[in-house]
Amino acid sequence: MQFSFETSPARVVFGRGTVRTALPEEVERLGIQRLLVVSARALEPLAREVTAPFADAVVAWFTKVEQHVPADVAEQAVVVARRARADGVLSIGGGSTTGTAKIVARETGIPILAVPTTYAGSEMTPVWGLTRSGHKETGIDPAVQPRTVVLDPNLTDQLPRRLAVSSALNALAHVVEAHWAPRANPVSSALADEATTALATGLRAIGREGLQRAASPEASLRDPVATWAGTPAAAGEQLLYGAFLAGGTYAVTGAGLHHKICHVLGGAFNLPHAATHAVVLPNVLALNLPAVPAVGERIAHALGAEEAVSGMRRLYAEVGAPRTLAQIGLRPDQLDEAIDRVSAELPIANPRPVGTAEVRAVLTAAFGEVA
């Protein structure tokens, strides 16, 4: 056995209530005195509440966050940071919020303290992304790796159920592809197995039956956050734990065909990021399993299924996940353009050789209507 395993240093604080109990300590620990807060406008009330204990250190706000991190929006955030002479950036939100903060860090060199509110996992990686003229650019820069990440299930439990499902499946995509991504190794695959099990466990707990239990009067007495948001407490912890592992695994292994397809679709057609990953994943898995049968066995075992693809599709059915690109906004007349755009990125790292025919097969299957 021979492999290399390299991770980016980061401090992670995980637990319920940590956004209120630990966040002030983490700001102080990083020595930040002039803080830029990046958060979507909808989350600004929460952001102002949790930053109240150190409000004197907050010198600027940026709330113009948009999906897929448009270049012009990220550049505006950089300008705000420079004008305020910020020496640190606090991101409170999902992947687009973290992504905006990453561009600020890339351009200014200031550290990021990240508080995710979805299961995106971007906060665990040194990967940045920008969308410019319908094309998504990505890169790796150690400067964009958040220095500290505060993971509070009380925040992610507030996700609407539909978004929680898509976001968790986005995390699942990180660890499925991690088994064959360019820097895959035995350690990252072991982490991927653990993440897959945690995510599947959490997803099943917010399935249709789980949602009904969470909405019962008895559950409302035990777990008011879950009945309000739709994510039972135990499920929420498993999902955030799995997403944390998934993000860290993705940071180690890098990306392949699945992520390239999703980045192209998101940048070109402005499809919802998490839902796009959810839809494409089973189709890329089906393409690749004949080339990596041992990986299929691992994924199936982690999912608690007899076979990987059917097990994944059964999980999707249990939680009411999006199944087709048509469902999430891709029009029939855009399918050929999508195939051409992805094919233009070839060659793409993948365990099975990929040409235009394979791209067409994956995207056609992903587009198909739900039976």
What residue ranges do the domains of the chain occupy?
Answer: 11-156, 162-367
Cis peptide before 9 (omega within 30 of 0): no
Instruction: State the pLDDT at residue 348.
Output: 93
Intrachain domains 11-156 and 162-367 with the same fold: no
Residue 146 CB neighbour total at 10 angstroms: 28
Instruction: State the pLDDT at residue 161.
Output: 84
Q: Give the model confidence (pLDDT) of 290-328 as tens digits.
A: 999 999 999 999 999 999 999 999 999 999 999 999 999
Residue 277 near residue 170 (C-beta atoms within 8 A): yes
Q: Which of these, 268, 287, 256, lies nearest to 330 by C-alpha position?
A: 268
Helices (H), the chain: 18-21, 23-29, 44-51, 71-84, 95-108, 153-156, 161-178, 186-205, 208-214, 217-222, 224-229, 233-253, 257-269, 273-288, 293-303, 308-319, 335-343, 356-367
Instruction: State the pLDDT at residue 216.
Output: 46
What stretches in the chain show pLDDT beneath 50? 209, 211, 213-229, 370-371
Dihedral (CA of 119, 192, 281, 306) sign: negative
Instruction: State the pLDDT at residue 369.
Output: 60
Instruction: State the pLDDT at residue 224.
Output: 39
- Fold classified for 11-156: Rossmann fold (3.40.50)
Instruction: State the pLDDT at residue 208.
Output: 52
Q: How far apart are CA 247 and CA 119, in angstroms?
A: 9
- Read off the pTM: 0.90
Instruction: State the pLDDT at residue 195.
Output: 98
Residues in the chain: 371
Instruction: State the pLDDT at residue 198.
Output: 97
Q: Give the model confidence (pLDDT) of 28-51 as tens digits.
A: 999 999 999 999 999 999 999 999
Instruction: State the pLDDT at residue 192.
Output: 97
Residue 320 near residue 203 (C-beta atoms within 8 A): no
- Fold classified for 162-367: Dehydroquinate synthase-like, alpha domain (1.20.1090)
Instruction: State the pLDDT at residue 249.
Output: 95
